Structures are given as structure tokens and as C-alpha cells.
Structure 1
Amino acid sequence: MVVTSRRSWIEGPLPWLAYLPFYAMPWFWKPPGDTGLILSIAGIALFLPVYLLGYSAGQRARTIAAAIIVAIGLVLAPFGGSWTVFPIYAAAMVGYLQPPRRAIVAILTIAILTSGVGIALEQMTLWWLPGVLLSMMTGFGTFSREAFYKRTQALLASQEEVRRLAGTAERERMARDLHDVIGRTLTLIALRADLAAKLVTPDVAAAQAEMRAVADIARTGLSDVRAALSGTAGGSLGHELDLSRDALKAAGIVATVTGDPHAIPPDAGAVLAMTVREAVTNVIRHAGAGACRIDLTTDDTIAGIRIVDDGRGGAFREGHGLTGMRQRLAAAGGTLEVAWVGPGTCVAARVPVGVA
């Protein structure tokens, strides 16, 4: 994730130095003594590097810098300058501290020390109380801004994570759909081409018909690939069952379908259709089966399908196809079970009726 610069120049330490001359405002009506002037110059000379270096430092260094700045203000309190300027700078610095309770404690401590010194020196309330209030306002203002910044950064990070996950999910969807579409299309093309090759000599007309079927399958496959890339893959269950019957017949496998695909709602049927596509492709390519039965079931809440073959079955490794089926069904709130049923394999899928 690309994060913008944490602070713009106006949020840095330099613009706020414009308030430092307020320290000398009382001197316009009551000039300082020599001691007060010398100490003030020394205090400001010490304040500037401590403030500039401590503003962007780590928490420990920032805390030490704020403590030094408060001390400068308290030392200069008896000498006639507007000494509460320094606690205000210190409060602004500690407003960035984390965790938040540390910043709150530091701001309140600065306010209490400033009040205590003003009272101890018996200064007029109007002389030190505005500084206390401004210290708290500045400190808590900085604290609120930092909290807002943290929340904004967290929100931006969350949005970036959502975008990343959405992109990953879309790539996985495309991979699953393309795997199913291309796998079935190439399997059918290979079967039809092999059959056409066998028929070239004894039955030219049948061979020509098979090659036309190969061309039709290729065109249909191209259309399916385009649909998968656009996110519209997944036809009706009835249509998919018709295609599966034709594919099984071309592979020399006897296909039996029980149940009414039209009784299954279209949304659930679209999910099951893609399951049928991959399961039947696996039967043709891997099972070595002579027969395949497809059973459809549905009620008010669940639609299900079972694809059972009489092939070699036994132990197998779950590949991309089964993983894709499982992920697609899980996304729709459904389940997938694959079991060896003694000479063959049973693939059972269930999905809630009314999936989006």
C-alpha cells in the first residue's frame, strides 16, 4: 500500500514558531531587567534546538524535549515574559504520544505545573490562566488530530486490503472458470478428433460430421472462455446436463440422469451446473468408466446433485478441479463430498436454494 507523507510542511515544527515572539509582548509596557533579558535569550536559544529536534523524534526523546521546554518556561516565569508560551509548545509535542493515555497524562501534568507555578509566584490569574487553557487546547487538539490520523490510516489500510482481496478473489474465480471451460472443451475436442480419425476410412460422412462437431465445440469453448473472463460463466443446469450427456456419449460412457433440473431454482442451478461440468470432465478423463449416473434432488431449502461412475475409483489426489468446485460451492454456502463407492467414485454437491 502506498501511504502519503505523514505530515505536510505546515504541520511541522517551523510554522508554529510564529507564536514565539508572544513571549516578549509584556516587555512593551514593562521592559525586562538585565537578568531577565539574559535568561530569556538563553532560554530561547536552548528552546529552539530542543523543540526542532524533539518534534520529530521518537516518543522517549519527544517526552524529554517537552520536559526541558516546560522547565525553560517555569525558570523564566519570575522575569516578566509571557512564559506560558513554552508549556503550550510542550503540550503540542506530547499530544502525539502513544498510547493515548500517556498523552492525556502528559498534557494534564503540564497544565497542573503551569497553574502551580503561577499560583506560587502569586501572579495575576489573567497572567497564567490563558496559558494553561491554551496548553490544554493545543495538547488535546494535537491528540485529536493524531487520533484522527490513525483512524484514517487504518481505514485506508482496510480499503487497500479489501481491494487486494477482491483482486485475489477475481483471479481465483477466473482461474476456476477457465480451468473448467478449457478442460471440458479440450477433452471433447480430443474425443471427437480421435473418433473422426477412426471413421475417416470406413465412414467418410460420419468422420465429416465429427469434425464439424469439433468445430462447433471449439466455437462454443471460445464463447465460454469469453464468458468466464467477463464473469458471466455458468449457464443453466438443464443446458449443462445436455452437454454432459453428449460428452459422456462421445466418450462411450452410458449416461443416466434422474430428477428434474427445472425444479431447481436458477441461482442454485448455475452453481450446480459448474459442478456437473467439472465432475463429468473428470469422469471422462480419469475414471475409465463405462457408465455415469447423475441424480438431482431439491426441496425448499437445499438443492443437490450426485455424479456416480463405475470407474476405477480408489485413492486420488484432489487437484485444481475439485479444489475449484469446493471453493465455488463454499462461496455459495454449499458443500462438496467426494467418496469412493466401490468400483467408482461419487461426487455429491449441495447448495442452499436462493444463493446470490
Structure 2
Amino acid sequence: MLSTLSFPWVPVRYGKAPYFWLFSFAIFGWKYLYVAPNSQELIALTLSLLFFLPVYFYSFWCSGWRIYACIVTVCAMGIIWAPYNFGGSTFCIFAATMTARLPDTRKAYLTLLAVGMAIMIASILMKLETFFWVPAIIFSIPSGIGAIMGERLSRSNENLIAKQQEVEYLAALSERERIARDLHDLLGHTLSVITLKAELAGKLLDRNPEACKKEIHDIEHTARQALAEVRAAVIGYRATGLGHELQSAKNTLDAAQVALLCDVEQFTMPQNLENVLALAVREAITNIIRHAQASQCHIQLQRQGSHIVLKISDNGIAGKTGVVHKGSGLNGMSERVHALGGSLQVSTKPDITGLHLELSLPMKEET
């Protein structure tokens, strides 16, 4: 019993909204503000709601013909209630929103149209009052269309996140393979040399102690050199650099079907500046993938006098809304930039792009 109560009644991705939609049944009580209900009507209303709730929650999980059965059942409940209480239009509105559960968009819209036609035909044949069919039509069709569009957007976001996770997994797998190859190439030859010199030193130990000492010295030198090379390689893996981050950005945007226009000027820069720029690119691309709904991204890197200027822009929804929400990512980026004496500007340009990020870092001349 406890497991049943703890089980989510609607998929997590819908949040709490489906529960709040149930408050729309308050419209049933409008009639009773001026007409006292009899006991039979109250019993019928209670039984209807108790029957509706399982069907409603089941519609979020079922598939195939069962979705149609839920839609027909709920719509029929609204039409049956129409002669007695115009609040029955609420059932019809719920039936219209259930069409969004259909996986095929065309079938979803056709089923929504069928719900609207059923309401109109029933209203004509049963000579129902306008208090029923007007709200049933006016609210059912827009609610159904909104639900279908919202469902498609939600599924697109889920597919996009799944593709992004797949890209990240493949990138991590490729990186592990690269590290394995590099370490094999780096240590394979060195360890082979150390093994041969150790064997030779063992043979020379009794016959030629001086030559043995020389071989042992060579082994020590080779081992120290290998250790230095391994440390340099590990540092390189930890800080992959701006070039690697740009390539990763291209792979991620390609998976998200976002076109990337990259204009990067080639020049050397201090490691600390490169790390900040790489992190800025990573954060900006993450925001574009998750929030921007963009189809195009432009990355530009230039050296302007004594400053390095990074510009990242997209054609997402920020240009339409004009609202920029600064989360922990942008705040962290701003702190890193200001720590190096640079500046960060985030703005919207509706006439050109959605969101425009401009980062400027001072680069001291090496003496």
C-alpha cells in the first residue's frame, strides 16, 4: 500500500502542474451557488470524480488504443453531465489535453479536432445551453493545442539531452583511448630500455663493476626522465586548453543541430588566461544547449592591443524576451574574469542575435 502511494502518479517531467489542473473542477460548484443540489446529484458528482481520477492519471502512462479510450471516456462524461451541470465542460477540456499523449503529432491534432466536433454535434443534437458548449469549445481547442506543442517541446528537449549525454560519453571514451595510447607510446619504449639496462647491469655486476655502475646511473636518469614526461602529460590532460574546448564545443553543437561559425585568431597566450577562456567557452556552450533554443552560434577570438577579446553569440530566445538570467555558471565566469583584471559583458541584441557575451582579458607582454 505504501509503495502504491509513493509511486509517482504522473511522470516526473510534468512536475506538479497536472495536480493543479484538477482545481478547474471548481467550476462544477458554480451552479450550486444559486441552485441547491439534491443528494442524488451530489452522489453522481462524487462517483464521476472518483471514476475520472484513475482514468486521468492512467492517461499519462498508457499508450496505443488505451489513450483513445481515455479521451473518449472523459469526453463522454462531459457530454453526459452537460444537461445537468455546465461544469461538465471541464471533462471535455481534460479530454482535449489528453490528445497530447499521442506520439504522432498529426494524429494528436486530428483527435483534438474530433473532440471539438463531438462537442459541437452533441450540443446541437441535445440542444445544450451555451454555458456548456461555449467554454467547452473555447477552452478545449487552445488547451489541446498548447498541450500538444508543450509535449513536443518536452520530448525534443529530452532527445537533445540524450544526444548531448551520448556525445559527452563518446568524447570521454575517445579521451580515455587517447590517454591510453599516449601512455603506451610514452612509457613503452622507456620501460623497455630500463628493463634491458637492468638485465645488462645484472650481468656486469661481477665482471665489470664500473660498467655496472654506469648502467645503473643510466637507469636512474631514464627513470627520472620518464617521470618528468608522465607529469607533463598528466598536466596536459588536466588542462586540455582552448583548442580542445573549441573542438568539444563543435561536437556538442553539431549533436544539438546548432550551426557553429568559428573565427579564432591564432596566437600564444599565458596558460592562466587560456584556462579562463576555455572555461568560458564551455559554460557558454552549455547555456546555449540547455536554454537558448538557438540554431546558430558564433565564436570569435581576437587579440586587440594588449587585450584578448572573446565574443560568443547565438540567435536564441533571449533576443526575443530581452531577459538574461545569470546563474552560478555566469557568476563563476565573471569572478574568474575579474580576478585577472578583465571584464565580462552579457547582453541581448534582438536585431542581430539572441544572447551576446563579450569577455576581455588583459595580456601582459612577456619580458
Cα distance in 1 for partners of 2:149, 2:190 equals 61
The structure number with the bigger radius of gyration is 1
1:289-314 per-position Cα deviation (integer Å, ceiling 9, x unaligned): xxxxxxxxxxxxxxxxxxxxxxxxxx
**Taking structure 1 as the reference length, what is the TM-score of the superposition?**
0.55
Q: 1:187 to 1:41 in 2, by over 3 A?
A: closer
Does residue 173 (structure 1) correspond to residue 178 (structure 2)? The answer is yes
Provide the C-alpha distance between the structure 2 equivalents of 1:192 and 1:48, rounded to a whole number of angstroms.
Answer: 80
Aligned CA distance change for structure 1 residues 202 and 56 (closer, same or farther; 3 Å): closer
Cα distance, 1:87 vs structure 2? 0.7
Q: Which residue does the alignment assign to 2:56?
A: 51
Alignment partner for residue 74 of structure 2, among 69, 75, 79? Answer: 69
Q: Which residue of 1 aligns with 2:65?
A: 60
TM-score between the two structures when normalised by the length of structure 2: 0.53
Cα distance change of structure 1 residues 165 and 53 upon mapping to structure 2, 3 Å threshold: closer
Residues 122/48 of structure 1: CA separation in 2 closer, same or farther (3 Å cut): same
SS at match of 1:79: coil
- Which stretches in structure 2 are left out of the alignment for 5+ residues? 1-10, 239-367
Matched, 1:152 2:157: yes
Structure 2 distance, partners of 1:194, 1:38, is: 96
Relative to structure 1, the CA distance from residue 201 to residue 110 in structure 2 (aligned partners, 3 Å threshold; closer, same or farther) is same
* 1:90 pairs with 2:95: yes
Cα deviation per residue 1:10-58 (whole Å; 9 max; x = unaligned)?
A: 134x432211121342454566799977765664454344334444434
Q: Which residue of 1 is the match for residue 225 of structure 2? A: 220
**Cα distance change, pair 114–171 in 1 and its aligned pair in 2 (3 A):** same
Q: Tell whether the 8 Å contact from 1:189 to 1:214 is kept in structure 2 after alignment.
A: yes
Matched, 1:108 2:107: no
Aligned ranges for residues 276-315 of structure 1 at < 5 Å? none
Is it true that 1:6 corresponds to 2:12 in the alignment? Answer: yes
CA contact (8 A) 2:31 2:85 kept: yes
Q: CA RMSD in A?
A: 3.2
Residue 181 of structure 1, CA deviation: 2.2
SS at match of 2:161: helix
The answer to whether the Cα contact below 8 Å between 1:72 and 1:86 also exists between their aligned partners in 2 is: yes
Match of residue 340 from structure 2: none
The 1-side partners of 2:217 and 2:207 are apart by 17
Residue 193 of structure 1 is aligned with which of 190, 198, 217?
A: 198
Tell me the percent identity.
30
Please tell me whether residue 18 in structure 1 is matched to residue 23 in structure 2: yes
Q: For residues 177 and 145 of structure 1, do their structure 2 counterparts lie closer, same or farther at Cα, with a shift above 3 Å needed? A: same
In structure 1, what is the Cα distance between the partners aligned to 2:85 and 2:208? 116
> Which runs of no fewer than 5 residues in structure 1 stay unpaired?
234-356
Does the 8 A contact of 1:66 with 1:94 survive in 2? Answer: yes
Instruction: Tell me how far apart the structure 2 counterparts of residues 33 and 121 of structure 1 sit (CA, whole Å).
Output: 23
* 2:60 and 2:101 in contact (8 A); partners too: no
Question: May I ask how many residue pairs the two structures share in their alignment?
Answer: 228
State the shift of 1:93 in Å.
1.9
Q: 1:66 to 1:221 in 2, by over 3 A?
A: same
Equivalence for 1:81: 86
